[in-house]
Amino acid sequence: MSLYNRQVLVTGADGFIGSHLTEALVRQGCRARAMVMYNAFGSRGWLDEVPREVVEQVEVVAGDVRDPHAVKALMTGCDVVFHLAALIAIPYSYMAPDSYVDTNVRGTLNVLQTARDLGVARVVHTSTSEVYGTALRVPIDESHPLQAQSPYAASKIGADQLALSFHRSFGTPVSLIRPFNTYGPRQSARAVIPSIIIQLAQGASRLHLGALHPTRDFSYVEDTVAGFIRVAECDSALGQVVNVGSGFEISIGDTVSLIAELMGTTIQVVSDDQRLRPAASEVERLWADTTRARDLVGHIPAHGGREGFCRGLEKTIAWFREPHNLNRYRSERYGI
């Protein structure tokens, strides 16, 4: 299905990926409605940093996916729903697991039930590579066993299974996108790549980081967003799970070295205990098999491989180095 001139809703549009997706949908000719989390400051999150000529075309509405009445009001009249709203910080899920079940599982149930009731044409539900846990085989394809190594991952597995169950039980037109580790402008300093860049850009010579040995498949945000759109457009993706990654594996330690090289500096890494996951909770290896994304939905990342990763890092570094952007972050304090 074509998304052109469709009424689309993005839940979690105030977040990192959600703001980029909303911007891309507007530029593609969609009529966009953006659900942001209500706050007393009138902030629309990262949508406040989207170019004015774009965000002025977006209907921004405050709401909460935990409230079924708010969800129904927001989804009424929508053709396509991109469901991104979630609690995503893994460390905080150790402290407040109940809130992850409430938002990630019950919130997803509200979206699915409303989509069924209203006859929404398409729902794209956001999963995460964390549901795979440490790879049992690589590259990781969509049939890999699901292994929750954190309360966050467990809540996302629950949400994913609900989404698939609604497709199988009721024919709800749901597709699942499973992004691997997305990075780029506007990302939270909780994530490792922004944490490295921010500390270096603010003059640190000693980097405070967690484990360096795990490997990740980093997907530049423009590629992740393109994957969302491809999945939504593909009728054959209904009832399917689609990995979106770069198909390139690199350790955190090697990522540190690469960023330091691109930023023209040398550093010393200091292990920070508060940034370490419990031993059995650390996902040691993630590397995406992107065959289904390529063959089923026609998605090929523009920033794949080492060369593409370097280009994505250069764009990310340039954004964080802008004083207006860098001043939003505090390298001396670790936030979960």
Read off the tokens for 254.
């090697």
Average pLDDT, the chain: 96
> Is the overall model pTM greater than 0.95, yes or no?
yes
Same domain, 195 and 269: yes
Same domain, 267 and 319: yes
Question: For the chain, how many structural domains are there in total?
Answer: 2
What is the pLDDT at residue 333? 66
72, pLDDT greater than 70: yes
Same domain, 149 and 274: no
Rounded CA gap, 321 and 331, in Å? 13
Same domain, 29 and 176: yes
Span 132-156, pLDDT tens digits: 999 999 999 999 999 999 999 999 9
Is 154 within a domain? yes
Amino acid identity, position 23: E
- 216: enclosing H helix or E strand: strand 215-216
What secondary structure does DSSP assign to 25-45, as a single string? Answer: HHHTT-EEEEEEE--TT---G
Q: How confident is the model at residue 311 (pLDDT cuts 50, 70, 90)?
A: very high
Same domain, 103 and 148: yes
Structural domain range at position 75: 7-182+219-244
Q: Are 81 and 221 in contact (CB under 8 A)?
A: no
- Residue partners of 303: CB distance under 8 A and separation at least 6: 219, 220, 222, 223, 246, 309, 311, 312
- Residue partners of 7: CB distance under 8 A and separation at least 6: 30, 31, 33, 77, 78, 79, 80
Question: How many C-beta atoms lie closer than 10 Å to residue 66's C-beta?
Answer: 16
Q: How confident is the model at residue 270 (pLDDT cuts 50, 70, 90)?
A: confident
